[in-house]
Chains A and B, each alone.
Chain A
Amino acid sequence: MKGRLFLTEVGVMVLDKPMETIVAKRFPEGEALQLYKRIESGEMIPLLKTLLAEAVEKGFDSFQIYEESLLKAAADAGFQVSSLSDHEVERMQGRKTALMVQAGWVKDEEEAQKVIRDFALKHSSLKLREMAAKPDLQVIQSVQALDEFDRTLNNVEARVREWYGLHFPELDRILDSPESYVNLVAKFGRRDSITKEGLEKLDFPAEKIEKILSSAERSRGSDLRDEDLQRILDLAEEAVRMSGIRDRLNKHVEQTMSQIAPNVTAVAGATIGARLIAKAGGLDKLARRPASTIQVLGAEKALFRALRTGARPPKHGILFQHQAVHAAPRWQRGKIARSLAAKIAIAARIDFYRGTSESGLKENLDKRFEEIRQKYSEPPAPTAQPRFEREERRGGRGGERRWQGGRNKRRWGRQGEAQKGQGRGRR
């Protein structure tokens, strides 16, 4: 018996030609729009697979499907399919309200009509959101600007530190934070102009002030000519100014993210969330990615290499920057990254399709992290150590993962901090 697949606002059904036998699956409450759109765009979601499998059990051996992309997906999933004509779809559309009653989804056609209208309102407004100037495109620009800016700022600060270090080498050890370092240089210039009151104004803690003053007095650094000092000051002042721009950019990303993707922000943090959106190409695209893809977004190079050479696939891309992942012991990271990715996938869908903030996502995830930490508190036995295998395969070439991890640690370190809301430079 041939079945016709019919996608409606309430659920999906399979019908025989006289529209008597119906196998139907209703969309779960609150997910109708999302699932409808995914099916429409040709995704074989689990609900659909289950429906077709049930229909097969009820005696349907092949399916007629109207949506072209779906036709292909169903064929790929191993079902017998053929395409459904315009005319046949029209026939079903024309009986939609009656069919919804027949499927037991609504009590009468009046209710069906109401459901269809409610859906049309939501569907239309989602469509307009997709068509309008997309706010996620704004967030993509801001976060990319932030990342580029950060790199430049890092370079300038490092240069100031090194150059000024000829004059006052001891300061390097005393001040970790690049921001306080350039602040100090910009404010005082030569080390013998540094004063206690000035340092207090910059909010340094008392013991730091003590150390700075005493090392300045006994410094073994060389003297600075005026013209050299002027150029160092130029750079330091520029770094201070850039730092302000950077903080405003960062705040902007945080604010925009909490508006357009509150759930992703809660789960991943604003900056990481924004980078994921940028990498995926938009919130809509992120919302359509499966968790497994989200987990390795940003590690495409490693992923392709793994596919080509049979090396181990990467366990995380951008998600490595998340504190819970990079702070975890090596053997827990993959698991933590996986559960983080799964939550982000859910969060992105809620953000995109529903646009409301969902409570409990973050708490749930933290609980999951805690379980992983307890369950896998010990490193795995040596035979199972991935490092061994990897080095063997790669012939000790170092490999993308190590390189990437190392680079990320340095490069994203400060962004990790900003992530936790401390702002840059540990003020």
Chain B
Amino acid sequence: MEETRGAGAGKARLRRVKAEGEDKLATLNLTPGLKVYGERLIEVDAAEYRMWDPVRSKLAAALLKGLKNLPIHEGGKVLYLGASTGTTVSHVSDLLGESGVVFAVEVAPRVAREFLEQVASKRSNVIPIVEDARRPERYRSVFSKVDVVYCDIAQPDQTEIALLNCRRHLSAGGSLLLIIKARSIDVLKDPDRVFKEEGDKIEAAGFKINQLIRLDPFDKDHALISAVWTE
């Protein structure tokens, strides 16, 4: 059971806690006292943690389903595509801590507004970008290469979009975390086949796939691919 240790505070930024006999996740709250989506706040070792709900956040589901070597660390830089209202981004922001930064891209005005008000404006390590992920050359705020591109935009051509973003903004040796929703790519095809085909595209672009994790029962017909850019 791995934990990301906060170098500065000496506090684990990610914790597994037992509750009601189950394994649960929690992240060290960057904004103590503030909740983002109604999650429970708990205290562990004199620090406040936010429970991380795997039903609401696919990254939490992937961790509970056995994702190893989460590439999001304290002080890191993440480009997050499809921020939506910021549920997952807020936990990524907790994991990165004050010294990290997450550039969060979202194009839909309604959710982006909520994201700005509830998450981006309250967390100093979140930089919002209201832009289409198909146009990574327009993200003016991205001031450095990132260690991780996280993509969850539920578009049929999202693998291509993710790769386009990697080429522009991912540093050599950086990681890609790609959420694949089989039904948004091809409703009729067998999900496993969709996952395999998308994985092939990623490998063809020079990535090495570390893990493919199915997210059921939390999300039906979803998977997360964790890959590293080797060229």
Task: Say how far A95's CB is from chain B's closest CB, in angstroms.
Answer: 8
Q: Which residues from chain B contact A112 at a C-beta distance below 8 Å?
A: 143
Number of interface residues of A (CB under 8 A): 24
B112 proximal to A (CB < 8 A): yes
Q: Which residues from chain B contact A125 at a C-beta distance below 8 Å?
A: 113, 116
Q: Which residues from chain B contact A381 at a C-beta distance below 8 Å?
A: none
Interface centre among A7, A9, A86, A94 (most CB of B within 10 A): A94
B144 A97 Cβ-Cβ under 8 A: yes
Which residue from chain A places its CB closest to the CB of B115 in the assembled complex?
A124
Pick from A9, A86, A94, A124: contact of B112, CB below 8 A.
A124
Q: Which residues from chain A contact B120 at a C-beta distance below 8 Å?
A: 121, 124
Q: Which residues from chain A contact B145 at a C-beta distance below 8 Å?
A: 94
Q: Which residues from chain A contact B142 at a C-beta distance below 8 Å?
A: 93
Q: Which residues from chain B contact A131 at a C-beta distance below 8 Å?
A: 109, 130
Task: Say how far B195's CB is from chain A's closest CB, in angstroms.
Answer: 31
Q: Which residues from chain B contact A94 at a C-beta distance below 8 Å?
A: 143-145
Q: Which residues from chain B contact A9 at a C-beta distance below 8 Å?
A: 140-141
Pick from A116, A127, A128: contact of B141, CB below 8 A.
A116
A127 B130 Cβ-Cβ under 8 A: yes
Chain B interface, >50% SS class: mixed
| A/B pair count, beta carbons within 8 Å | 56
Pick from A7, A93, A117, A123: contact of B124, CB below 8 A.
A117
Pick from A86, A97, A123: contact of B143, CB below 8 A.
A97
Pick from B101, B113, B126, B127: contact of A128, CB below 8 A.
B113
Q: Which residues from chain A contact B144 at a C-beta distance below 8 Å?
A: 94, 96-97
CA distance A114 to B113 in the complex (A): 21
Task: Say how far B4's CB is from chain A's closest CB, in angstroms.
Answer: 22
Known: A116-B141, A132-B109. A124 touches B101 (CB 8 A): no
A227 proximal to B (CB < 8 A): no
Given contacts A120-B127, A128-B130, 11 further A-B contacts (CB under 8 A): A7-B140, A9-B140, A90-B168, A116-B127, A117-B126, A117-B141, A120-B129, A123-B141, A124-B129, A127-B130, A131-B130
- A interface with B by C-beta (< 8 Å): 7, 9, 86, 89-90, 93-94, 96-97, 112-114, 116-117, 119-121, 123-125, 127-128, 131-132
10 nearest A-B pairs in the assembled complex, by CB-CB distance: A96-B143, A124-B130, A120-B141, A124-B128, A127-B130, A131-B109, A120-B127, A117-B127, A128-B109, A97-B143
